[in-house]
A and B are shown apart, each in its own frame.
Chain A
């Protein structure tokens, strides 16, 4: 073919395209879909179409009704969270007993019997081993309870109905109804919540769900909230009300998190996410009896073990860092003490102190070790008796004893309130950050998701502290 005839063909094609008009793409697409459905209609026979109209639609009428839709939803989520938090206490205590109270001394004894130098023994056993053991003891039980229950609901087909009920509220803030599900999943673990956003197929809404997932209090943060609320909030009211006061404080923080989730979603759609494509559709699949054992198995393998493994990978170096900064000296002070002193001024502005800020820096890999780290650093920095030694994280059996140490470290009610707020509003743990990067494949959005909550945490705790001191 010579060049001339090619040019002719191109000219002819653009001429024809012009004559066909703009509707041609649409017409073609619609024609293909219409033909496909006609072929399917002719060759596929459906005999169980009637089934859907019996039991399924009856359940649907109840779970999406005006009167029952919301109460049923909140009850189910409440029961799951309650079972997770209360139920996890027992296996957690057992694991802690085994890994921390028995294994740790045993390992130390073994190390000294083979004559390991103190620094290697401290680095490996007090640093790396302790952090990993802590993460396993605190993280494994709640996840092993939460994920199977959540996955069973998912398998049953109830969760899309929740998204359906709540979509209107999420739409107001520019988000997708399915974000209700990823948010609930975040109450278990933010990393798992971020993975769960795969169910949202609209790019903009998925990013919103990923960035705001951190506002769901995760399993690693519930114990911190409960402990601090018990010690400090419970103490300001008469003893008979202390349980209810500390419980409402924790629930209040969780609800505040939901409020921040809505607010941030709204702000993101109005600003940085304005140009991302946004679509909506939500399929309500028929109900089916959950396949119990298969679900339990896959949720344990897919969600629990993978997340736990990632957490361990990040916790090990964190433990090493915690031990090292407490044991490496520059001049007369350890790195930890120097850092605490330099952070104290900023911490005071935020109504907290240098110990808390340093604990949140070194505990980026896992929220679970924040309290043990704070206790260890407080004992070290203030020189009060107690603890397990320099660079060795510890926790006490009684909340009162913990409270005594913290109060000796200069804590007030304001410190406690701001710690609870900062525990809600700070950067996601490194497991979650890594997961966000894997899911979005973008440094930009990973940075936004990591930095945004810390900035909000700084602003909120700062404002609370100033207003508190005014009165």
Chain B
């Protein structure tokens, strides 16, 4: 046998490299081919309808050029599909601007409904990270049938908003209003509540996640100019670029709606301080949230630090006479008022 360790190693590394190319997450050839086989005409139609729907909502006009640059399909396929769609009366041309017909809008709403329901499902029932929800829902929205969608909605308790704060269209196509303004246009000293965090584009969404900004939190604007936007939320100071802040929507609160001025996160509690729990942030979802409630992290409970672990994380809190250790990211989602 012609055996040579160098030769054996070379074969081994060649095979592992090939395996890596094939199966690496996201861009592995295997996944690319699998996804490509799936992206048929239906996917293209549905993606075009979604673009038109979002354009309609934000008041932007959509034409063939903006479509081809926004979608990642071959241009000739897009042109082909658009022709078919106008024959089937899903869309119509006004000049070179594309518009949704009524039946096209219904179809688009159905797709948006699946997308947002799936994001809600991922948030409540699975452990996927926030940053992954959108991409997964992008694939799933083309797969679920109307019946499956309704079953899913019932299981989730017919939610009205998705985890980003976008309204989920109902079965009959009803969409809740989102009344708010962009964080970037909130006046200094005004108080608001974060009701929506846009998950596109990816780069900006990841920045918002990294900042630990939580949906549902009450904020007070401190500084707002072209360079930067500074605001307080839950006892922490946040500094954002205006372009990032434009992806966050807040509802302006009137004086009598302001719930609690001195609301801070449990993670800011120091040793020997005591506090009362005000509630659990909307960012704590699904099983995590229920577990916290089960353990007695409910409104009005007295809380203090019992022990700090050698690495400062987790920290054990004394709640209702029991010592319960929580990790830092959990503690940041519990809101308290210090005594």
Contacts and interface: CB of A to CB of B under 8 A. Distances in A.
Interface residues of B, number: 57
Nearest to B313: A168
Given A22-B161, A275-B126, A466 B5 contact: yes
- Per DSSP, chain A at the interface is helix
A64 interface: yes
Given A25-B157, A204-B127, A277-B127, A37 B324 contact: no
Contact of A66 (B5, B158, B310): B310
Nearest to A41: B320
B293 A283 contact: no
Interface residues of A, number: 59
B310 A30 contact: no
A283 B322 contact: yes
Interface in A130-172: 164-165, 167-169, 171
Interface string A281-318: 11111000000000000000000000000000000000
Contact of B160 (A21, A204, A349): A21
Interface string A163-186: 011011101000001000000000
B212 interface: no
Given A277-B125, A277-B286, A46 B327 contact: no
A22 B166 CA distance: 12
Nearest to B10: A466
Contact of A349 (B8, B25, B288, B327): B8
A274 interface: yes
A33 B25 contact: no
A60 interface: yes
B325 interface: yes
B1 A345 contact: yes
Given A34-B300, A52-B321, A274-B127, A164 B293 contact: no
Contacts of A280: 288, 314, 326-327, 330
A65, A70, A466 interface centre (most CB from chain B within 10 Å): A466
A462 B288 contact: no
Contacts of A466: 5-6, 8-9, 12
A278 interface: yes
A470 B158 CA distance: 65
Interface of B: 1, 3, 5-6, 8-9, 12, 25, 125-129, 132, 157-161, 170, 174, 176, 279-280, 286-293, 295-296, 298-301, 306-314, 316, 320-327, 330
The 5 A-B pairs of least Cβ separation, nearest first, read A168-B311, A282-B325, A284-B323, A466-B5, A33-B298
Given A279-B287, A279-B288, A462-B8, 4 more contacts: A168-B311, A275-B128, A282-B325, A470-B5
